[in-house]
Amino acid sequence: MKVLVPVKRVVDYNVKVRVKSDGTGVDIANVKMSMNPFDEIAVEEAVRLKEKGVVTEVIVVSCGVTQCQETLRTAMAIGADRGILVETDVDLQPLAIAKLLKALVDKEQPGLVILGKQAIDGDNNQTGQMLAALTDLPQATFASKVEVAGDKVAVSREVDGGLETLSLSIPAIITTDLRLNEPRYVTLPNIMKAKKKQLDTFKPEDLGVDVAPRLKTLKVAEPAKRGAGVKVADVAALVDKLKNEAKVI
Amino acid sequence: MTSLVIAEHDNALIKGATLNTVTAAKACGGEVHVLVAGEGAAAAAAAAAQIVGVSKVIHADGTSLKDGLAENVAAQILSIAGSYSHILFPSTAAGKNIAPRVAAKLDVAQISDITKVDSADTFERPIYAGNAIATVQSADAVKVITVRTTGFDAAAATGGSAAVETTVAVADSGKSALVGREVTKSDRPELTAAKIIVSGGRALGSAEKFSEVITPLADKLGAAIGASRAAVDAGYAPNDLQVGQTGKIVAPQLYIAAGISGAIQHLAGMKDSKVIVAINKDPEAPIFSVADYGLEADLFTAVPEIAGAL
């Protein structure tokens, strides 16, 4: 069984982004970029399934600008076997990405597609579900445990109030939550080996997908600033402020 | 122009998140209908009919809808989607699971986690962990939306009188099944609906200390308990208490952060709280930059002292 893992190149999670003064977006020029943290978890899970012998090949795919190659090389250094880049300069929205991925699912016929639950730039949390809809496959989102048994996969999901476990027939779409695993660090020898792995490049046109954005961003603004707070000297002063000034207790 | 709100419920009661979603639906203009999809959910449908501002409740009842599986619930929504201009879900685990599936089947973009309705086609939503607010416009015929519940007031739960219409449940997809559920038991207010939240971080040091220090103060205040990702990852608190970009988004009247440094991802989940109190030993902790009241102290002495002073 093959596994397909989509990965996204995003602004590193430690970077505090700045909104551009003309309100057209956030400033990502000269900002450190990395693999979306949830996607790292997805790659790690796919590689672990391969190490267990459940999976024969792990294919990573990224959609976006040429530099996404670096993200794919990182995924291959974690242990993915080959990469696919769908190269475009268009600002890709989840529906367009899901359509590109559907074309690749049709082509590669993976048993599982493992995605991150959300990308930390757009915070959309849509692509996996949309891919499941377009391919008409079952979905298990926010996974914290994945176990393949025959033609079924059991997935524990993090839901409001606890956990639930689903059994899906394979092929299936899974999106990862934070607790699924601890991604490994890539080692220098593996980075060197990853450079030699196969990386195919397509254009959206090659896959017959229209990637034009559906949502128009009119403006991007800074969130409202909170007023400056005060430091209180001791517990008595704090309780007094909460009771008499803020009146919240 | 009519909006459809997908109710979150446990077959007997309508969950609070639905009420905030109804308010967002009203802001889109036009009538508001509510879909209650479940098994044996007549009581929930009756409760939905009481919500002020709702003009019709559609009640779909059947075994296929029992466990809220995305495949079946999405199919149920699609069976009636044709009559609506807006389809809104609360931005809960269930809403986020199903909404994109509906949107993709309708071949429309989905708009996640809106915090404001500017007009029937223009919405505001936070991006980059809440560090920027994007105003987006949709040209699609149907707007599929998830609503950040803390961005909208709750509609009144009683006083309305909508008609309840029953509809046939869709057939089961057969592709997925629920195996089991493990629900964290708690008599506390629900985290996302609580007026007061006492939240603990890695500085608590252990699960025992976490409950020993945080619980008495939460009890005194009738507060919900929250946790930072660091505390959850270290096993001090269960996952579903995590507040932040990837956990729960909360906006209580009072948020007390004890031993939480205030990473970007945590702030994304709580910085819309009305009053924020930070208790931290480290004067440089970023949490102090958003706190209305900061107390630079050892939480192991300060938190019990606060509980004692109430």
Our CA-based measurement puts residue A85 at a distance from the nearest CA of chain B, in whole angstroms, of 23
Residue B161 pLDDT grade (very low, low, confident, very high; cuts 50, 70, 90)? very high
Q: What percent of chain A has pLDDT over 90?
A: 95
- For residue B208, what are its two tokens? 């025992």
ipTM above 0.85? yes
User: Hey, how many other C-beta atoms are within 10 angstroms of the C-beta on B4?
Assistant: 24
Question: B74: which chain A residues are within 8 Å (Cβ-Cβ)?
Answer: 133
Span B109-113, mean pLDDT?
98
Kindly report the average pLDDT of chain A as a whole number: 96
User: Hey, how many other C-beta atoms are within 10 angstroms of the C-beta on A67?
Assistant: 11
pLDDT of residue B307: 96
**Burial of A195 from C-beta contacts in 10 A (0-12 / 13-18 / 19+):** exposed
One-letter-per-residue 3-state SS of chain B: CEEEEECCECCCCECHHHHHHHHHHHHCCCEEEEEEEECCCHHHHHHHHCCCCCCEEEEEECHHHCCCCHHHHHHHHHHHHHHCCEEEEECCHHHHHHHHHHHHHHCCCEEEEECEEEECCEEEEEECCCCEEEEEEECCCCEEEEECHHHCCCCCCCCCCCEEEEEECCCCCCCEEEEEEEECCCCCCCHHHCCEEEEECHHHCCHHHHHHHHHHHHHHHCCEEEECHHHHHCCCCCHHHEECCCCECCCCCEEEEECCCCCHHHHHHHCCCCEEEEEECCCCCHHHHCCCEEEECCHHHHHHHHHHHC
Which letter does DSSP use for residue A9 in this model?
Answer: E
- Mean pLDDT comparison of A163-167, A245-249, B182-186, highest-scoring range: A163-167
Give start and end residues of each alpha helix (H) in chain A.
Answer: 37-51, 68-78, 94-108, 127-135, 188-194, 235-240
Per-residue pLDDT at A248 exceeds 90: no
pLDDT of residue A36: 98
Q: What is the pTM of this model?
A: 0.96
Question: B132: which chain A residues are within 8 Å (Cβ-Cβ)?
Answer: 17, 19, 26, 220-223
**Pairing assessment for the beta strands B110-114 and A230-232 based on DSSP bridges:** unpaired
Q: Which residues does A19 contact at the CB level (< 8 Å), separation at least 6?
A: A25, A26, A27, A220, A221, A222, B131, B132
Closest CA to A155 of A133, A134, A172: A172
CB contact under 8 A, A216 and B137: yes
- Residue-wise pLDDT for B182-226, tens only, equals 988 788 999 999 999 999 999 999 999 999 999 999 999 999 999
pLDDT of residue B59: 98
Residue of A nearest to B190 (CA): A161
Span B249-262, mean pLDDT?
97
Question: B271: which chain A residues are within 8 Å (Cβ-Cβ)?
Answer: 223, 226
CB contact under 8 A, A166 and B176: yes
- Residue-wise pLDDT for B282-295, tens only, equals 999 999 999 999 99
| Closest CB to B101 among A129, A227, A231 | A129
CB contact under 8 A, B132 and A98: no
Per-residue pLDDT at B155 exceeds 90: yes
Residue of A nearest to B183 (CA): A162
The residue among A22, A214, A240, A243 with the most chain B CBs within 10 A of its CB, best to mutate, is A214
Residue of B nearest to A28 (CA): B128
Span B82-87, mean pLDDT?
97
Q: What percent of chain B has pLDDT over 90?
A: 96
Q: Which helix (H) or strand (E) holds A175?
A: strand A172-176
Question: B309: which chain A residues are within 8 Å (Cβ-Cβ)?
Answer: 235-236, 239
pLDDT of residue A227: 83
**Alpha-carbon separation of residue A97 from A63, A87, A90, A181 (angstroms):** 7, 11, 11, 25
**Alpha-carbon separation of residue B39 from B48, B60, B67, B72, B162 (angstroms):** 15, 8, 8, 12, 20
pLDDT of residue A228: 82
| Closest CB to B135 among A160, A219, A232 | A219
Return the half-sphere exposure (C-beta side, CA atoms, 13 A cut-off) of residue A208.
5
Closest CA to B74 of A123, A137, A211, A111: A137
Per-residue pLDDT at A226 exceeds 90: no
pLDDT of residue B186: 80
CB contact under 8 A, A218 and B122: yes
Per-residue pLDDT at A206 exceeds 90: yes
Q: Which residues does A171 contact at the CB level (< 8 Å), separation at least 6?
A: A105, A109, A110, A111, A112, A113, A135, A137
Residue type at position A101:
L
Per-residue pLDDT at B133 exceeds 90: yes
Cα angle B185, B190, B191 (rounded to 5 degrees) comes to: 110
Our CA-based measurement puts residue B167 at a distance from the nearest CA of chain A, in whole angstroms, of 23
CB contact under 8 A, A130 and B101: yes
CB contact under 8 A, A226 and B290: yes
pLDDT of residue A75: 98
Our CA-based measurement puts residue B98 at a distance from the nearest CA of chain A, in whole angstroms, of 7
Per-residue pLDDT at A247 exceeds 90: no
Q: What percent of chain B has pLDDT over 70?
A: 100
pLDDT of residue B184: 81
CB contact under 8 A, A26 and B130: no
Phi/psi for A34 (5° steps) reads -145, 180
- For residue B162, what are its two tokens? 């909508």
Span B247-266, mean pLDDT?
96
Question: A133: which chain B residues are within 8 Å (Cβ-Cβ)?
Answer: 74, 100-105
- Residue-wise pLDDT for B223-236, tens only, equals 999 999 999 999 99
CB contact under 8 A, A132 and B102: no
**Pairing assessment for the beta strands A57-64 and A82-87 based on DSSP bridges:** parallel
Our CA-based measurement puts residue A208 at a distance from the nearest CA of chain B, in whole angstroms, of 16
pLDDT of residue A187: 96
Per-residue pLDDT at A161 exceeds 90: no
Closest CA to B78 of B175, B4, B2, B146: B4
